[in-house]
Each structure stands twice: as C-alpha cells, then as structure tokens.
Amino acid sequence: MTAQAQGLGNSPYSSLGIGEIYGNSNVTNLGMGGMGTAYANSFFLNSVNPALLVRNRYTLFEVGLLGQSKGLTDGRGQKQQDFGANLSYLTFTFPVTRYWSTGIGLRPYSYVDYQTTQYQKVPGTIYESEYIYRGRGGLNKATFTNGFSLTKSLFFGFEAAFLFGNTTKDSDSRLLIGGDDITVKRSTQTSYSDIVWRLGAAWRPKLKNDWFLNIGATIDPMTKLGGNSIDTYQQIDASGTQISNPDTVSTRSGGSVTLPTQFRGGIVLEKSQKLAVGVEFGYQPWSKFSDLEGNSGSLQDSYSIGAGLEYTPKTRSTRYLDLIPYRLGFNYSKLPYSVGGKQPNDMNVSLGVSLPVGQFVNSVTISLIGGQRGTVTNGQIQERYFKIGLGLSLNQPWFQRQKID
C-alpha cells in the first residue's frame, strides 16, 4: 500500500489536527538540526526568525526542495515503505535601507497524507467488514517578512502570512460478502484561510575580536484560523460506480480552528565567517488546539531541543573546499500526538554543505537528515526516515547606487 500526494509519504499521524506541520526551516537550517532562531549566515536566508532578515545585505532569491523516504512498522509486524517529495519554499528578499530588509515567500504549512485499512469480524456471522481511512490535502503559507536593525547589535522583525488550503478525509466501510458488495463512503472536506503572525527579536553583542554572542527568540501568537466544512455520504457498488450522488449530511461555515501559541528561543556562539555553534528550544501547547467543532483532537503539548554547528575553513581562500560551509545538527522532539496514553518521540541527526557556484556568493545547499519517531509499543507506529533537502541561493548586489571615482 503506497500513498503519494503533496505530503512526504503516507503518515497516519497526519490524520490528527490540521495535519503534519512542515516547520519554517530552510534547507540551510535543516543541516544544523533546524537551528535558526538566534543565528543567521548573511549569505543565506533565515526564515525562522524574521528579525534576522536584516542580516542579508544583498538581494537574495532561494528555492528549496524536500524529499523523504521512510519505513513504517507497527507492533504486529506489518511494514510499509513510502516516498514523497514536495517544493519546500520559494523566497525573495532585498534590503530597502541599511536598517531594513523585506521579503516575500511561499511555502507549504502542513499536509494531510494517509491511508489505512482495517478488517473486523462481524459478530454472529462468517463475514468480515472492511474499513478504509484516507486523507489528502494541506495548507500553504504566503509570507510578507520585514527585519529591522534597531542598533548595531539589536534586531526586530515580523512576519505576516496568509494561510490557505483544504483537506479531504474519507472513511469507507464495506461488508465483504462477495458479489455486489456496497461501499458506504463518508467524506469531510474542509477549507481554511486566514492571516497569522510571527514576531522575532535578536541580540548580537560582540565579545572580543571576531567573536559574537547570538541570542534570539520568536513567538507565533495564538490564532483563530477561519474554516468551512461539508460532510457528505454516498454509496458505491463493487465496480466503483456511484449508486447514489453525494448527499450532504452537514455543513459548517464561519467556524474557526484554534492554533496555539508557539515559542522558540536559542543561543549561539559565533566566530564571524568561521564558526557557529549553539542550542535551540521550542514549545507549543497543542492541548489548546480546537477544530471547527471545538474538539481538541486529543493533542498534547509538544517541545523540541536542537543543537547545531556550522564551520567554514577559510572564506578568503583560493581553494574551493575551504569556501564550503559544513554543518552538523541534532534534534529531539516530543510530538503532540497521544497514542495509547504516550507521546511519540522524534530524534534525528543531520549533515549539510553549501557548494559555492558562479562568480558571486551563490550556492547549492544539500542537507541530509536521518531519524526515527514513535515505537512499536503502546499502539504507536514507528517511522524510520531519511530526508534530503536541496536548496539554491542566488545573491546579487541590486539597488546599489553606483559611484565613480
């Protein structure tokens, strides 16, 4: 059984809430364990903390792709292999003044991509019933970001984003008696659209010589995400022909989904254009989530801890290998899902490099992430995954006044 859509492969966990959250990390951040709240390399876009956008002093265009291969295993020995890939982001940013940079972007926000099949014996008979649950779709995010330099070492920024998209969740039931088996399909289609915000701040005091301390934090305030849904019912025969047209069971318009506040903070020790090493923490009380019907979805509070390193041998060297930034990262997360009274964990390690291309500071970035989440106990599903991120960064000195000496 395989499933491929706009997500990253079949994930039963994406049936909960508004689906799997992609996160805000670019391919560069992914190679450092997702770290980016406190640190920004001025040649690559940081989409985690809007305050650090002002660190980019050139016009910058970035595009990213993300693919994932994973194996799913449950406690009964059932296994499945999946692969999925998707556009990760498109971003464009430029400096407006010396103290202000702005940018626009488009990226996926969440995805719903799952399909599971269950069989149960019908009590008192020799027959079985089949239940198929599937979901498709997701939300996208169009962003408008601004970063400001308040002083030489203090930065502030905000991101306004428009979330939009829709999901479809189906549940099919069929009595297996042979011949003209009839499938009863229940389908719920939900559409979302609204504006969300992120605020960020960063402080970069100089310690001595080329050493800096970086401290940063972001907050995504609690948001009421507007949504509408329609619930339909229909019957289908064994050949797939509709016996009846979809009949509306219920509709809901003008409702809202509550997205809980998200906090992130980090601290990084940096030697300018040479070395950066730090840690980062994130927290989001998903227990305060509610869907269009006011249900919490049994979600729990989640948190993440990450650590990352970036090292560039020599930025002024004539040797190509000396100009490559090398990255290493680790991330541990407590996921918001509750299965058998337990919350699954997610642990991964990452490696990354940025290969300079062209005459200016353009780069092709590759990040590799391997990890595991969940276990085969307590009714959970274990996912062992390998992700590869591919990013292209184009820097150009636009909007600069020419001088004649």
- Residue 49: the pLDDT is 96
Report how far residue 383's alpha carbon sits from residue 68's, in angstroms, rounded to the nearest whole number.
Answer: 11
- Residue 1: the pLDDT is 35
The answer to whether the beta carbons of residues 278 and 307 sit under 8 Å apart is: yes
- Residue 403: the pLDDT is 64
End-to-end CA distance of the chain: 68
Token pair 């626009």 in the structure block, residue:
104
- Residue 236: the pLDDT is 84
The domain defined by 12-396 folds into: Porin (2.40.160)
Token pair 């509550």 in the structure block, residue:
258
- Residue 59: the pLDDT is 92
The answer to whether the beta carbons of residues 389 and 27 sit under 8 Å apart is: yes
- Residue 2: the pLDDT is 37
234: helix, strand or coil = strand
Burial 362-389 (b: 16+ CB within 10 A, else e): bbebbbebebbbbbeeeebbbbebebbb
The answer to whether the beta carbons of residues 329 and 308 sit under 8 Å apart is: yes
> Looking at the chain, how many residues does it have?
405
E-state strands within 74-222: 79-97, 100-111, 114-121, 128-149, 154-176, 183-203, 206-208, 211-220
- Residue 401: the pLDDT is 64
pLDDT digits (tens, 9 = 90+) for 174-191: 888 776 678 888 999 999
pTM: 0.88
> Amino acid identity of 170?
D
278: helix, strand or coil = strand
For 54, which DSSP code? G
- Residue 179: the pLDDT is 65
- Residue 221: the pLDDT is 96
Residues of the chain below pLDDT 70:
1-7, 179-180, 359-360, 399-405
